[in-house]
Structure 1
């Protein structure tokens, strides 16, 4: 699999260069770098997933709005 090694914006375009020296011009770049949640390794943690323990910051944000 080829990997992106450089992204440069010039005027209204992005030039993407890969390890294989291929170049692409595009008007948009979408970065999907991924993310994985981290378990706390507490006793019975799995038993409470979905019952107060969750790992979705965007899903759970409204539960904590104005509480900090």
Structure 2
């Protein structure tokens, strides 16, 4: 549980920092759009097995 919460915190903080720098982490598929730090964190909290790899992939593409 602690690892889950630590990664959720890291995702939120990392996404917020990247957004302030002008390189937000963004994902879009059809009508689904994930671009805000809180949305990334909530996704990781609820569906970590899907959102964590997705975040890391989108983060790499944002660089």
TM-score in same-fold range (> 0.5): no
> Which of structures 1 and 2 has the larger relative contact order (alpha carbons within 8 angstroms, sep 6+)?
2
Larger Rg: 1
Shorter-chain TM range is under 0.3
The structure richer in strand per residue is: 1
The structure richer in helix per residue is: 2
Structure-2-length-normalised TM-score:
0.23
Structure-1-length-normalised TM-score:
0.22
